[in-house]
Chain A
Amino acid sequence: MRRCRMRLEISDPGVRSYMMSASDTPAATRARFEALCGPLRADLYRYALWLARDRAVAEDVVQDALLRAWRAFGSLDAATSAKAWLCTIARREFARRFERRQLEVVDVSDLAELEDPALAGSDGQEVADVRAAMWALDQDYREPLVLQVLMGFTTEEIATELGLTTGAVLTRLFRARQKLRVALTGGSEEP
């Protein structure tokens, strides 16, 4: 039997305690969650996709992350930190899946847009080339770049999210762009 990933209960202890502590009605809590997390879903999916490099896995990660977010809604200190909070949950969810089963190794060439209509588009050759180069980047370089450019995180926020020093993040960001430029234009990496 497939488990219901999208099911949750208002009576869950986490949800209930949040409602009680916030003196909110369930409807108000629900509305606040939707208002806060709904607009972030698109970028959360994109972040998950760039982590997983698999559309179905990304959707699973987002669904489960949102479910966990709902259950842990009471632990969110401020609305302004919702994006980082959701990213952390999604990242942990992805790691959890990776621990549960080794994800299939994906050949970068297989990620060509032919296979995934979500990645195809009318963006033009330039964007397609960058996208292909991004797929080919090591995760260590790709993820900080995604967090910076797509999610708008500062270097310090990325360091916190990834458990790195700011120096290490800066190095990875520099190397990531360098590798992209080399992939797009040829040539060699600068020192």
Chain B
Amino acid sequence: MNCLDVRRVLGAEPARRSPEIDAHLGECAGCARHAAELARLDEVILRALRVPVPAARPAAVPAPRPWHRIALAAGVAATAVLAGLVWSVYPREALATALVGHMHHEPASWARTDQPASPAALAAALSGSGVAIDPSAPRVSYAMSCLFRLRLVPHLVVQTDAGPMTVMVLTREHVSGRSDFDEGGYRGVIVPATHGSLAVLAPLDVTPAAVDAVLARVSAAVRYTD
């Protein structure tokens, strides 16, 4: 192989080695240097490609317009600082935010209704979750198995005197203690459970006491079967 052959091969596949390539690199200092430069370039490319990956899934936003750039840059910087502070002080906010974000995907589930979820729907929602619901639970009007943080979790809506409330049974989300939150138009609470945690969310016009009452009933009705 001559210099051109070797450089063409390594330019496409810098890690490629063969007896012919090795022999050429052993006797051609220029190509050996070129191979080292390509290997170094690939290291930097890999670092460049490994952009930070967001943990939670924010809502889609439109691409910013040019005249927004400066304001957006300032906003991004301020948000990053604020988010860091909030994260460090209130680590469970991220889970609450993710829950609220999930609520926004299913507005229809919040309908007031006398119609209970079918036994089949409830069974499907709970299938494989390691969770069962006792009849003592508030009436479930909506039951779905939802992908939340890459895990399938039972998403239930229960009908109460105070209106519909959402229950998320998060057997893989562990929390250290009770966390109340109020964001995105929802009031909610996350509490540790036998397995993972349990979250109840309601619209802001529902009182915290009503949320607590439902939490107590649901906590008593949820059984962990795994």
Q: Tell me if chain B binds chain A.
A: yes
Give per-residue flags for B29-61: 1 if the beta carbon is below 8 A from chain A beta carbons, else 0: 000000000100110111111111110011111
Question: Which residues of A are found within 8 Å of B50, using beta-carbon distances?
Answer: 46, 150
Q: Quick check: B128 and A27 within 8 Å, CB to CB?
A: yes
Check B129 for interface membership: any CB of A closer than 8 A: yes
Question: Which residues of A are found within 8 Å of B147, using beta-carbon distances?
Answer: 6-8, 63, 66-67, 70
Check B1 for interface membership: any CB of A closer than 8 A: no
Question: Which residues of B are found within 8 Å of A177, using beta-carbon distances?
Answer: 11-12, 14, 38, 41
Question: Which residues of A are found within 8 Å of B155, using beta-carbon distances?
Answer: 7
CA distance A136 to B143 in the complex (A): 46
CA distance A57 to B107 in the complex (A): 22
User: Number of A-B pairs whose CB atoms are under 8 Å?
Assistant: 163
Q: Quick check: A59 and B57 within 8 Å, CB to CB?
A: yes
Q: Quick check: B47 and A123 within 8 Å, CB to CB?
A: yes
Q: Quick check: B60 and A117 within 8 Å, CB to CB?
A: no
Dominant secondary structure at the A interface: helix
Q: Quick check: A174 and B8 within 8 Å, CB to CB?
A: yes
Please tell me which one of the listed residues A41, A104, A190 contacts residue B63 in the complex, with CB atoms under 8 A apart.
A104
Q: Quick check: A9 and B124 within 8 Å, CB to CB?
A: yes
Interface size range on A against B: 35 or more
Chain B 145-198 residues near chain A, CB threshold 8 A: 145-148, 150-152, 155
Check B114 for interface membership: any CB of A closer than 8 A: no
Please tell me which one of the listed residues B52, B60, B79, B145 contacts residue A8 in the complex, with CB atoms under 8 A apart.
B145
Q: Quick check: A1 and B41 within 8 Å, CB to CB?
A: no
Q: Quick check: A127 and B48 within 8 Å, CB to CB?
A: yes
Check B130 for interface membership: any CB of A closer than 8 A: yes
Please tell me which one of the listed residues B12, B72, B80 contacts residue A170 in the complex, with CB atoms under 8 A apart.
B12
Check B106 for interface membership: any CB of A closer than 8 A: yes
CB closest chain-B residue, reference A151: B49
Please tell me which one of the listed residues B41, B48, B80 contacts residue A117 in the complex, with CB atoms under 8 A apart.
B80
Q: Quick check: B60 and A7 within 8 Å, CB to CB?
A: no
Check A188 for interface membership: any CB of B closer than 8 A: no
CB closest chain-B residue, reference A50: B49
Chain A 88-139 residues near chain B, CB threshold 8 A: 104, 106-107, 110, 114-121, 123, 126-128, 130-131, 134
Q: Could you list which residues of chain B lie within 8 angstroms of chain A, going by C-beta atoms?
A: 7-8, 11-14, 38, 41-42, 44-54, 57-64, 66, 69, 72-73, 76, 79-80, 102, 104-108, 120, 124-125, 127-130, 144-148, 150-152, 155, 226
Which 5 residue pairs are nearest across A and B when measured between Cβ atoms?
A: A26-B128, A173-B12, A56-B60, A130-B48, A27-B128
26 sample A-B contacts, Cβ–Cβ < 8 Å, listed by A number: A4-B105, A7-B105, A7-B155, A8-B146, A9-B145, A10-B124, A27-B128, A30-B152, A41-B53, A46-B50, A49-B51, A54-B63, A59-B54, A106-B63, A107-B66, A117-B52, A117-B79, A118-B53, A120-B76, A121-B52, A134-B45, A169-B12, A170-B13, A173-B11, A174-B12, A181-B41
Q: Could you list which residues of chain A lie within 8 angstroms of chain B, going by C-beta atoms?
A: 1-11, 25-30, 34, 37-38, 41-42, 45-46, 49-50, 54-57, 59-60, 63, 66-67, 70, 104, 106-107, 110, 114-121, 123, 126-128, 130-131, 134, 145-146, 148-150, 155, 169-171, 173-174, 177-178, 180-181, 190
